[in-house]
Amino acid sequence: MMSQDPNKTQPEAPDTFQMDMERDDINVRDVHGAILREKDDPRDGYEPIPLWMVSIFMALVFWGGAYLAFFSGGFQADVFDPSQVAWGAGAGGAEKAAPDPMVVGKKLFTANCVACHQATGQGVAGQFPPLAGSEWVVGSDWHGDNHLVKLVLHGLQGPVQVEGTTYNGAMPPWKQLKDEQIAMILTYIRNEWGNSAPPITAEQVAKIREETASQTEPFTQAQLKAIPAVHFGGSAESAPPADGTDAPPEGGEPPADAPAATGTPTGV
Ligand code: HEC
């Protein structure tokens, strides 16, 4: 009662009570003041979203949209994944540019071969033979393109001579790759690091895959040498005249020298 209306009860109150009231009065004002300064208790679900959070959210949405616009690659499946590339000219609609083996083949080489044969194509001395300037890659009188496809499809093991150096390791088979992919890789390694040789097509790989379907083990050099060489390029000039044995034994020579030494003036 007193706290409800202290002023009304004041005149009737005795002195001592009056003094108490004054003290109470002060207390009541203090209490009211304190209450007025206090804010409402927060209630669930009624808080407005802070402005800074709204602006961060808007910025994120904007950034996401801009990112997609720039980097989605038009949502084409073949933009980033080489295995999704529609090989050759598209069947329908406008001419679709055939994938460039020097681009796609390089990607596949980087994904599958680079760990051993290195990005320089020089291999690792004593362990992994070079592909740069290798007679197995560009061909020679008895190193046919058929041998190259066979050894990559099924692997290679045992002693093998490359550019006058003997290696004795084992390469796993790559038959899990598609015909198109092997064709791309081989076309790439035949035209990189100073190498120059005609392309290998998916059809050629498919044919050899079929012919060698019963092959369960990696080939050896002796087995391959027993198979007559076939040069897909057709013309004799596609094979370098030199047999490669006069090349320096270690893969130390600059790749630029390789074509000059083996001489393929009529490059494609
Ligand atoms: C695990 C390591 C390794 C990987 C990965 C590898 N190779 Fe080889 N490669 C070898 C070895 C070792 C030899 C030699 C085998 C021997 O001594 O009988 C070889 C030999 C070769 C040869 C014949 C010799 C020469 O140097 O010309 C070719 C061509 C070749 N590899 C191509 C490839 C291609 C293409 C790929 C990727 C699809 C590949 N290799 C991936 C280890 C590897």
CB 116 near ligand 1, within 6 Å: yes
CB 152 near ligand 1, within 6 Å: yes
pLDDT in tens, the chain (268 residues): 444 555 555 555 556 666 565 666 678 888 888 888 877 777 777 778 899 999 999 999 999 999 998 888 777 766 666 665 555 444 444 455 678 889 999 999 999 999 999 999 999 999 999 999 999 999 998 999 999 999 999 999 999 999 999 999 999 999 999 999 999 999 999 999 999 999 999 999 999 999 999 999 999 999 999 999 999 875 443 444 444 444 444 444 444 444 444 444 444 4
Residue whose CA lies nearest to ligand 1 atom number 13: 171
Take residue 125 and report the two structure tokens written for it.
Answer: 């001395």
Ligand 1 centre from 38 Cα, in Å? 79
CB 131 near ligand 1, within 6 Å: yes
Ligand 1 centre from 112 Cα, in Å? 10
Kindly report each contact of residues 164-171 with a partner whose C-beta sits within 8 Å and lies 24 or more positions away, as own/partner: 164/244, 164/245, 164/246, 164/247, 164/248, 164/249, 165/129, 165/249, 165/250, 165/251, 167/126, 167/127, 167/128, 167/129, 169/127, 169/128, 170/218, 171/116, 171/218
pLDDT for the residue numbered 134: 96
pLDDT for the residue numbered 47: 75
